Structure 1
């Protein structure tokens, strides 16, 4: 039965190269341009692109790239957030007041017309710090 499910979905599998079989190699695989073309419409690919754009901005124009709650709150006050990248892990915080704070941050960015990308902590892009 398990094999039937795999065989029925084999058209969804993509063969690609990795330097190792360890989890950290997923970053290498997902950065491969050939794979990115095939995965262009997936949420994971959009997350990876948003993260790459942020890292590029951090290197090329660091005055426009902020991270950390206090910096983000100041950027919201200045209505200066184009895209907010945030981990879904922050919405599962044990402290309810902290969870509510992050929900409010997301709501404020959306109200101001900003784009919000919520990264899955289960995906390699959501693990980056």
Structure 2
């Protein structure tokens, strides 16, 4: 019954199926999952003996490449062998970034090698954030050491939050300069979505876990934005942009064009 609460007796290990009235379109679920996409980070750990390159996502780690470097300490061969090794690792990382559309890279080593690889990457990946860290070993052991520190996990979280922060900065700027190009609160955003005006939509994660009519309205807005190829960003409530979004009613949008008058009324031409 709508608006009612029920108590169920469920034993551990028992499987249950909950069917929502009206159902949830599969395409909508897939699009929501894509909006929650896992950010990807390519990591490499190297020393004078070996290297490993891996792809890290929220779902886990995938080893992409590993091998021997065997950089000799003999000063006659060291400079050229080191240069070859650095170039090899950098090229493997660039290939991985392009193949998996990675959002950032992390290079780790016991000494200065990480800095030289990072310098090589700056020219090859000018628009990709590059981070360095120190590990005791190269190879996959170094990758595992890096992951145990939670440095990469925090980076993955920060990448998602950073995207929300950038859109909120754009929202705040437009709110001051062109207030007709933004919408916030369920009522306003709903009107903008119906007018196919939403370019970027920010939704607080807790808006999708409620059990009232608001959730259904928000889901409908998301479907409308998806159908018009708009961007949907789910923002965690326990993040700085999440707290700001909560003060805006839990949902806000950057619009494709000015839709609202200063009195927040929708332009007549878009309502009929």
Quote the residue 1:56 is aligned against: 173
The question of 1:93 aligning with 2:215 is answered no
Quote the residue 2:222 is aligned against: 106
Three-state SS of the structure 1 residue aligned to 2:203 is strand
> 2:163 and 2:214 mapped to 1: Cα distance?
27
Cα displacement string for residues 1-42 of structure 1 (whole angstroms, at most 9, x for unaligned residues): xxxx99x417x29xxxxxxxxxxxxxxxxxxxxxxxx88x71
RMSD: 2.6
Query: Equivalences for 1:1-129 in 2 at 5 Å?
Result: 8-9=148-149, 12=151, 42-95=159-212, 97-128=213-244, 129=247
Quote the residue 1:16 is aligned against: none
Shift of residue 77 of structure 1?
Answer: 1.9
The total of aligned residue pairs comes to 98
Quote the residue 1:23 is aligned against: none
Shift of residue 94 of structure 1?
Answer: 3.2
Shift of residue 103 of structure 1?
Answer: 1.1
> 1:71 and 1:99 mapped to 2: Cα distance?
15
Higher-Rg structure is 2
State the 4+ residue runs in structure 1 displaced beyond 4 angstroms.
Answer: none
Quote the residue 1:22 is aligned against: none
> 2:242 and 2:211 mapped to 1: Cα distance?
19
Using the size of structure 1 for normalisation, the TM-score is 0.66
Cα displacement string for residues 42-70 of structure 1 (whole angstroms, at most 9, x for unaligned residues): 10111111111111111111110111111
Name whichever structure is richer in strand by fraction: 2
Name whichever structure is richer in helix by fraction: 1
Please list every run of 5 or more consecutive structure 1 residues that lacks an aligned counterpart in the other structure.
Answer: 14-37
